[in-house]
Chains A and B, each alone.
Chain A
Amino acid sequence: MVDADLISSSSIVIDPSTFDLVVVGTGLPTSLIAAASAANKKSVLHIDPHTFYGSHSSSVSPTQLTTLFSSVEIQGTVPEPSGRFLLDVSGPRVMYCADPMVDVMLRSGASRHVDFKSLDGNLIYWDGKLCNVPDSREGIFKDKNLGLTEKSLMMKFLKLVKGYVASGGADDRNGISEEDLELPFVNFLEKQRLPKKIRSIILYAIAMALYDQDNTYGDDDCGRLIKTKNGLQRLALYSSSLGRFPNATGAFIYPIYGQGELPQAFCRCAAVKGAIYVLRMSLANLLISKDGREFEGVRLGSGQDIFCKQLVVDSSITIPSSVFPDKSDDPIMPKDSNLEKIGSISKVTGKVARMICITRHSVKPGLSNLLVFFPPKSLHNEQMTTIWALQLDHSLAFCPSEMFVIYLSTPCQNDVKGKEYLCAAADALFSHVDRVQVDEPIILWSAAFVHELKQVSSDKFTSCPAFDSSFDYQDMLEKTIKSFQKMYPEEAFFPENTANEEKDEEDS
């Protein structure tokens, strides 16, 4: 691997100048494609205009954060030693123990480069209190907030799901019919006579529903309303995550040193298989055949032309305007080329409001690494989305000891509203400075910003969405595999023996 920080990238000349694949941006999806392609013996050049790996999947210092997003609202000052803080750009996002991503990491060998730690607790904000999410048999048994009958109903439902998963589909015997699978999940839960509180726990804290499930979204709900089929799948994933690793206490694990470790691990995998890495290297232009149809390669920021068959670009990478000059005399550039002209469309598909807070005390005494779900309407009558909060302590190497970093996020349509809801959630979690007791959490520093999700489509190159608004890696992985298979229909996305060395499950 080329250590980009030591070499001035503008003067570097890459040899050879022909590759099977050029990848721009070192976000997780692009890194996955680079590693999968390298594993399939493709020659890969992977560049990133930034000085660090990961693009929007990275973990950065508080000061770096402002370079990634245009309008970051900062309050307070980062407590010393401020250099010890590492912030995930697109948090909170967690990995299920049974996540397909875990399997990809094991198959690719990327798991050898990352260590994980399991989260201690899941909480749901209910009636103005933080309650444990009773997610398992033992969790229900121990729960102090559910009534006895509620416990039986919840357990009965979990058994129903277990039976459904075990029998592999709808069946008269397990009490779930084919018609049930097409129902909105919330209606199915009502049909099981589950009380509202348990419905909310299942929908928002276990099935991770993003949007208010009691609302109607019309025909074009874009998957906002979870169908029973999908709901049951999510529950199955959740329950198979519990107890998968003997030293994991819950369903979720988190990479030590942050999410930025994941793309780096895959970049290492790719480099081991021969991919060439150059940081601080931007994409300057596309090389298109004279007739304007065929893609031939790229011109790098250093001015060097690289010929390649395929190009993958992270959608978070702002393609410099020079790539598509309105007029050019360059013979190899198509005339009047701009994004539309070369068949590329860029649009914003959604927004996610994010907030990062630093505090000295846990928001729930006794627990360090925890998740909090604020179901829709739990904070505000117009709150239509779930707000997620994730608290991590120094054991994940994010912050100095006796400090906690809390990530909050929610999808939003309006920047102001999004930030407003996050502030309401933070209000519920933290104490106020003016009437704080000794051991209560107060916000020492916070940063709020809105993450725009861009989708670029082109017939000349493959665009990988940086990240989505979801809370896990599933959708992202699915889309990435689809992109890869479109590029290389014959190849397997990490064949079983990619990591032919010892395959140890050192995950927690």
Chain B
Amino acid sequence: MHGRPRKPATEGDSLVVEAKIEKLRTLQKQLLHNHRNRIYTKDALEISSNLLEINPEVYTAWNYRKLAVESMIVDLKDDEELIKSLVTGELRIVELALRRNPKSYGAWHHRKWVLQRNILPADFHHEFRLLDGLLKLDSRNFHGWNYRRFVAALKNVSEEDELKFMTDKIEANFSNYSAWHNRSVLLSQMLKNKDRDSHVKENVLEEEFELVHQAIFTDPDDQSGWFYYLWLLDQTTSHSPSLISLWPTNGSNIILSNNVNTNDQISETISDYARLNGTLPIVLCFNQPVKGINSSTVSVQSSFTVNKYLTWKPLANGNTDEACYWMTCLKLPKRKSDVCTSYSVEVTLDHCHGGIVSSSYSELNGSYKFNFTLDIKYTDLEALDNNLFTEMFVWEDENSHKRITLAPEIICRTSLEQLQLTITPEPAEASKWCRETLSNEVSLFRELLSEMDCKIAKLTVARLLVVLDALPSNEQKKVHTEEVLKLYDDLMKSDHQHVRYYKDERSLVLIDQITCDKELLTRHCSRNTTFQNQVYLHLNSLSLSRIGFMERLLWVHMLDLSHNELNSIEGIEAMQLLCCLSLRGNRISSFTALGPLKLLPSLKALDLSYNEIGSHPIDTTRYLCESPLSHSTAKEVATNHWEAVLLFQDLQLIQLDITGNAIANQEFLTMLVKILPTLTWIDGTVVSH
């Protein structure tokens, strides 16, 4: 039961307890004796039932009874009367045990066993009456709800009847989250079974919205309704996985060269052949984690070589087979004598049964096909030396405020619809319904907010507006960004407990705003004079605590995230071309938080200065990551700094700035130099290996 204080034990209690212990010991001893010797007499069974009545947690006793039942059924043969009394006896003992402890796993399991054993047809009337009584006593006894699902399935109760029962329970107390939860489970099944008729689903969801509104508006401080509401929103907006971005972009022309003349017409698609190690990354971004990306689901046809068995790699840390971002390395053709050669590459994602699926096994929403061309300037490749990092990368670029023009290849909100060959029909009506539903929700909660201050309603409006803005529409601009930012600002002021969450959400909105609008994005870009005059993206000093929408920044080589409030850089692994990254002046507190960097093979220069690495004795993210014990390939683990070793041994950094972190003492720097043989500069000085 919930909310009942425990009574302190009194003097008299201890005597009672002692007597009870004595009795239990005797019974237990007798039970074990009978169990061992397979004695299933009436008296022996009586002992086990006496024991279970006092202590239903003795699992051995339940198992003993199961064996006894099996053995007696054989003995009783066809004597229906006796078999009946045997079964009812078992059910009765469970009831007695449940009276002692309504949450006894052993007792519930025994009852399920008896029913499943199907010795006699179950008396469903009795079972449901028992459940009604139990749920009246404690409407949130999850054993009861589990058992109800079990019995309902056994009896084949219609979903409509069960739904009616949920409605009654919710009407009796709409804070009963168990009932809401069961409702969502049931409806998920029902919606799946109802073919794919979107109208049926829409009607059902509309009714559910209506119901949950009653709960939310009656008591906006009660969580149960809101939890259900989140599930409902998910049902409303959820769709099958789709490709949202890729690199190289469709129809683009990639120029591979080592020597970029600063006076040339500059293209963002220029890449450095040497740095690529003779391979070209292809990156696919999906709107949700997917699995099943391999050479049979994605085919890559190029005019230079048949890359039949390309290995696709999920861009995620740890042992996972699903990710939002996937990449493969296309082997570039061997050098030829030609001056400049053009190759074309075509990539096809097949929509086939059981191919590319999300974690909930919904299939990719269609097939995709895209192509690009590769221009390799072999003349330049003569000077194949490492001319890139001949001098140190200058983080603070004097051009950072100069406006530049971005190449037309950079598409902010990739419209991939044109790439799709076949699309699972998601009719315009459905998306119209979704838009209308969400807009309606927004106006409802705005009305609620006009009457009272409610943080979860505010948060919901913000979330809804973000989802609305993200829906495909004719407008490219985000119309609600300012309102959403203001909502998060309000929330941060009024609800200090969750300020970090709000800050994260706010950061995402901000990045969304900047990256989806080319005009705005241009204002954050400059040409880096020291580094081949390439585009340097500045997302610095924006108070970001989290990054996102990296799928729109796949083309970026140089990224400045300095002077934000980042404590995580999750998502950066999508930027496979990234070679210079500044995280100066953030709140990175451990090397484990930098894990995504391990997935960036091109990264050469990294500025970690003035973070909080080593300031916090307890690294709360550590348990999420691999440890030296789980990592068999770790070379000579420096016991104090194994996180640093695990991070840096996979990187080929040439330049690293780490000053201004608690951890960066001389000893640490020495160790870094040792594990980073490629390192040329550390904290602005030349490394002597």
Q: Which residues of A contact B (CB under 8 A)?
A: 137-138, 140-142, 148-149, 151-153, 155-156, 193
- Complex Cα gap A193–B450 (Å): 12
Q: Using known A-B contacts A153-B451, A156-B452, determine if residue A148 contacts B217 with beta carbons closer than 8 Å.
A: yes
Kindly identify which residue among B171, B172, B173, B217 contacts A151, using a CB–CB cutoff of 8 Å. Answer: B217
**What residues on B are CB-neighbors of A152 within 8 Å?**
217-218, 220, 448, 451-452
A155 near B219 with CB under 8 A, answer: yes
- Complex Cα gap A215–B173 (Å): 38
Contact with A along B169-211 (1 / 0, CB 8 A): 0011110000000000000000000000000000000000000
**What residues on B are CB-neighbors of A156 within 8 Å?**
452
Interface contacts beyond A137-B219, A141-B174, A148-B444: sample of 9 additional A-B pairs, CB < 8 Å, sorted by A: A141-B171, A141-B218, A142-B171, A148-B448, A149-B451, A151-B214, A152-B217, A152-B452, A156-B452
The 7 closest A-B pairs by CB, nearest first: A148-B217, A151-B217, A141-B218, A140-B218, A152-B217, A151-B218, A155-B218
Kindly identify which residue among B173, B451, B452 contacts A138, using a CB–CB cutoff of 8 Å. Answer: B173
- Most interface-central of B172, B214, B217, B452 (chain A CB within 10 A): B217
- Complex Cα gap A138–B213 (Å): 13
A366 to chain B, nearest CB (A): 15
A189 to chain B, nearest CB (A): 15
**What residues on B are CB-neighbors of A137 within 8 Å?**
174, 218-219
Q: List 23 A-B contacts (CB under 8 A).
A: A137-B174, A137-B218, A137-B219, A138-B171, A138-B172, A138-B174, A141-B218, A142-B171, A148-B214, A148-B217, A148-B444, A148-B447, A148-B448, A149-B447, A149-B448, A149-B451, A151-B217, A152-B220, A152-B448, A152-B452, A153-B451, A155-B217, A155-B218
**What residues on A are CB-neighbors of B218 within 8 Å?**
137, 140-141, 151-152, 155
Contact with A along B444-470 (1 / 0, CB 8 A): 100110011000000000000000000
**What residues on A are CB-neighbors of B448 within 8 Å?**
148-149, 152
**What residues on B are CB-neighbors of A142 within 8 Å?**
171, 214
Closest to A150 in B: B217
Closest to A144 in B: B214
**What residues on A are CB-neighbors of B447 within 8 Å?**
148-149
| Number of CB contacts from chain A to chain B under 8 A | 41
A191 to chain B, nearest CB (A): 15
**What residues on A are CB-neighbors of B171 within 8 Å?**
138, 141-142
**What residues on B are CB-neighbors of A155 within 8 Å?**
217-219
- Complex Cα gap A153–B454 (Å): 13
Main secondary structure of the interface of A (DSSP, over half): helix
**What residues on A are CB-neighbors of B605 within 8 Å?**
none
- Most interface-central of B173, B174, B218, B220 (chain A CB within 10 A): B218
A141 near B215 with CB under 8 A, answer: yes
Q: Which residues of B contact A (CB under 8 A)?
A: 171-174, 213-215, 217-220, 444, 447-448, 451-452
- Complex Cα gap A140–B218 (Å): 6
**What residues on B are CB-neighbors of A138 within 8 Å?**
171-174
B543 to chain A, nearest CB (A): 34
- Complex Cα gap A155–B454 (Å): 14
Closest to B136 in A: A246
**What residues on A are CB-neighbors of B214 within 8 Å?**
141-142, 148, 151
**What residues on A are CB-neighbors of B220 within 8 Å?**
152
**What residues on A are CB-neighbors of B451 within 8 Å?**
149, 152-153, 193
- Complex Cα gap A19–B504 (Å): 85
A497 to chain B, nearest CB (A): 26
Closest to B172 in A: A138
- Complex Cα gap A156–B453 (Å): 11
- Complex Cα gap A148–B447 (Å): 9
Closest to B448 in A: A152
A330 to chain B, nearest CB (A): 69
A332 to chain B, nearest CB (A): 67
- Complex Cα gap A151–B220 (Å): 10
B594 to chain A, nearest CB (A): 46
Closest to A134 in B: B218
- Complex Cα gap A140–B173 (Å): 11
- Complex Cα gap A138–B219 (Å): 10
A388 to chain B, nearest CB (A): 27
- Complex Cα gap A148–B216 (Å): 9
A199 to chain B, nearest CB (A): 16
- Complex Cα gap A52–B218 (Å): 50
Closest to A246 in B: B136
**What residues on B are CB-neighbors of A140 within 8 Å?**
218
B391 to chain A, nearest CB (A): 65
**What residues on B are CB-neighbors of A151 within 8 Å?**
214, 217-218
- Complex Cα gap A141–B169 (Å): 12
- Complex Cα gap A148–B209 (Å): 12
- Complex Cα gap A451–B173 (Å): 43
Closest to A154 in B: B218
A360 to chain B, nearest CB (A): 30
- Complex Cα gap A71–B612 (Å): 93
A261 to chain B, nearest CB (A): 30
**What residues on A are CB-neighbors of B219 within 8 Å?**
137, 141, 155
B164 to chain A, nearest CB (A): 15
**What residues on A are CB-neighbors of B172 within 8 Å?**
138
- Most interface-central of B172, B173, B220, B451 (chain A CB within 10 A): B451
**What residues on B are CB-neighbors of A149 within 8 Å?**
217, 447-448, 451
Closest to A156 in B: B452
Closest to A140 in B: B218
Closest to B454 in A: A152
- Complex Cα gap A427–B217 (Å): 36
A246 to chain B, nearest CB (A): 9
